[in-house]
A and B are shown apart, each in its own frame.
Chain A
Amino acid sequence: MTITPSMRPFLTLYYREIRRFLKVIVQTILAPIVSSGLYLLIFGVSLGERINLEGGLSYLAFLIPGLVMMSVLNNSYQNSSSSIVSGKFGGDLEDWKVVPLSPTAILWALSLGGLTRGLIVGLMTFSVGQVFFYVMNQQFLIPEHLGLLFLFLMVGGLSFSMFGISIAFWAKTFDHISGVGSFVILPLIYLGGVFFSLDGLHPYWQLVSKANPLLYFINGVRYSMLGESDVSLAVALSVSCASLVLFYGIALVVIKRGQYVRW
């Protein structure tokens, strides 16, 4: 593919996004990997020994896909939102407005930037999980449907990058960003079936969980890796793709209408 001049602004912003998170790699890549590693060790290996799931599945195997998706979602959200917020704070955002960057170029550059970081952390989480899995089972956890796995990770990462963009444009302070992170995203992720299966829940809580869109992202990944999950593939796929379209629409409106002048 040849690069035309009109693609330059988009490619530059995407490249800048990657350079930005690599400049603070300890915060953006290493710290999230350490925390997923700890989850795997404590919940998967240590507590997981005592948990029995139906069908002889080890708890570690159950946990790995959930944690991989959680890493992708969290880091995608963090990346695009913190990029915009720091841009609002320093004034970089004004630059984007006065150069020939179209709203869709900004949207895709930031979303792909977030997805890239999400996938890096997700892949590392997967690798750490594999190490633990090998130690426990003397074999690797081979994903059942590799193509589907990438599809779900991409759809999830892009959706959450776009969600991060929308929140960051709306936010007036750093507190808003971390507030949404801790009071909205984290509970939704934890209650979206990263750590537990719907089977064990009271029917009432099953119903509540099913209203959580993240359940479908996480179970989509679980199905792709293990070949089984709490919700059917078709439902997981449709809800995930519908979320992507929704988040895309919201983010595009926000980028078109948003304020680029600094705080």
Chain B
Amino acid sequence: MQADPSDLIQRAQQGDQAAFEALYRAHVGRVYALCLRLTADVVRAEDLTQDAFVRAWERLASFRGESAFSSWLYRLTVNVVFLGERASRRRARRVFTTDDPAALERPGEGSGTAGGRVDLERAVAALPPGAREVFVLHDVEGYRHHEIAELTGIAVGTSKAQLFRARRLLREALSK
């Protein structure tokens, strides 16, 4: 019998690690994709994915089911990424390495449009961090500007400006 997700969530809230692992298995791909696209860095993305799930475990009690568990988890992930990225940018003005196509390719997936998709992933990864983050949140993940402002602490106007800039840079990169 398939476990009911809300039952899984309840059990995890009561400290059941096996239930939490099932939630992890169900959501890790989405959380990791978000971390990877936001950071364009495989190692950072793996660390942040782990941080996000540890934070989720700690905060499970505050999940009350007004929203879907998945949207709660992805918002928490964005928070974790932005806290972590801000800290790491303070520590070292690291240049983001983006030439890691293996990380962004998924061998064996589709064929017809796969080339265009990989080009787009690479071009997104090559964007400056601020533009990339807003593009991923708005155009890939579907957040609205006011939500992005709330999640990341930037102004709505800045979110729009970064999005338009990202799209301009992407159109240039993809038309080459």
B is bound to A: no
